[in-house]
Amino acid sequence: MLLQMLKPKNLNFERTYRAPVDTVWRAWTDPEMLRQWWGPEKTVVPECRVDLRVGGEIYIVMEAGEEMGKYQGTRWPMAGTFTRIDTGTGLTYDARSWTEGEEAGSTIQHTNDVTLTEHDGNTTVRLRVTITKIGPKAKLAAFGMKWGYKAQLDKLEKYLAGTS
């Protein structure tokens, strides 16, 4: 059972990367590139699918690595559907994330809106995450999403530095 939030929770992020918009766009939309930076440190992405069209699927599974101790092997899938694709400048998808094996209580529903703007060879990413529903056991995970996205955007910076 998901709990409807009284008021959706918005998380807003803005980062500027020293990379052209085409490279940043591919980092967000190419499954092989996505798996290199998605998720916080100490996680890996064993599964990643992107069907880049409105109505298409985005499916990413993060898995806790050995460095996460007792959490090692824990998997956190995210399944979403693209609702907007503006090639090279932005995309939006409605998604749900959960802890594998605990889907009923751990699901978080959210909308992710990504906008890319290039200026002088640098690309600014604006990410707005709107959390609309959370499972009864997902309050801590929803609270941790802000940290998780910040860590993930840090990983994207390191990844892009290595690709240019």
Query: Domain spans of the chain?
Result: 9-161
Helix axes 139-163, 21-29, angle to 10 degrees: 130
Query: For every one of its 164 residues, what pLDDT tens digit does the chain have, with 9 covering 90 and above?
Result: 566 656 889 999 999 999 999 999 999 999 999 999 999 889 999 999 999 999 999 999 999 999 989 999 999 999 999 999 999 999 999 999 999 999 989 999 999 999 999 999 999 999 999 999 999 888 888 888 899 899 999 999 999 998 75
Query: What is the torsional sign of CA 29, 34, 37, 39?
Result: positive
- Residue range 9-161, CATH number: 3.30.530.20
44 is written with which tokens? 């890996």
The rounded Cα 157 to chain-centroid distance in angstroms is 14
Cβ count near 108 (within 10 Å)? 24
Query: What is the torsional sign of CA 157, 74, 50, 107?
Result: negative
- CB contact at 8 A, 45 and 62: yes
Look at residue 20 in the predicted model and tell me its pLDDT.
Answer: 96
Look at residue 2 in the predicted model and tell me its pLDDT.
Answer: 60
Look at residue 11 in the predicted model and tell me its pLDDT.
Answer: 95
